[in-house]
Amino acid sequence: MLSGKVVIVTGAAGAIGKAIAMHLALDGARVAVADLRVDAAEAVAAGIRAAGGDAWATAVDVTKDDGPSTMVDAVVGHFGRL
């Protein structure tokens, strides 16, 4: 259903965000796991990859004016599109 789609999940290191990211990945999405705590985001991405999904971790601070746009640029740089 989501095969090949690129999605961003912010707050993905938290319980709800992690569950959403995993669900999207298992439905075939390529997931950018974004969180202020990049080490925790990487752990979530690693779990998704271990389950057979495609995930990449990135840092984001959505409280900063340029945070979301910087994150989108990084995601497009990694996956080639959004």
Edge-first strand listing for the sheet containing 30-35: 6-10, 30-35, 54-59
pLDDT of 37 reads 97
Secondary structure (DSSP) of 35-59: ES-HHHHHHHHHHHHHTT-EEEEEE
Dmax (CA) of the chain = 34
What residue ranges define each of the domains in the chain, with the CATH number in brackets? 6-79 (3.40.50.720)
For 18-73, how does the pLDDT look when each residue is reduced to its tens digit (9 = 90+)? 999 999 999 999 999 999 999 999 999 999 999 999 999 999 999 999 999 999 99
